[in-house]
Amino acid sequence: RVQLVESGGGSVQAGGALRLSCVHSGYVYSRNCMGWFRQAPGKQREGVALTETGGSVTYYADSVKGRFTISQDITKNTVYLQMNSLKPEDTAMYYCGADPRECYPGAWSHADEYHYWGQGTQVTVSS
């Protein structure tokens, strides 16, 4: 059974930084598409940054390119999201999501394509 556990959210001022962590367990396949989504109140869940476990491919939403970096530590079964230069519009609940397959380049950001989710961690950026 796949489990995803997020941590690292918090409250920061605009321009600040946070690092989110997602510890994963229970994968059957060696290559899984996983990463970070976010959902603000009244909005749909959107893809932020994705990667493949054991791989090097990465995908980023245009709104976070140059500010956020996704990485992984295979030895710790952990995927990270380093968020720099945070903006108030980055405020949302951030979720770690995963699916047992390679990422689809054309649909990597579609939350409906992912079967496994963590409980979420809140990120609040004040101006």
Determine the average pLDDT of the residues in 67-78.
95
Q: Which pair of tokens denotes residue 27?
A: 């994968």
High-pLDDT (> 90) share of the chain, %: 82
Residue 104, pLDDT > 90, answer: no
Q: 38-51: per-residue pLDDT in tens?
A: 999 999 999 999 99
Between CA 123 and CA 22, with CA 16 as vertex, the angle to 5 degrees is 45
Amino acid at 93: M
Residue 28, pLDDT > 80, answer: no
Give SS3 for 117.
Answer: strand
Contact of 117 with 3, CB cutoff 8 Å: no
| Cα pseudo-dihedral 61, 65, 67, 73, rounded to 10 | 70
Integer Cα distance of 120 and 127 in angstroms: 23
Integer Cα distance of 102 and 106 in angstroms: 12
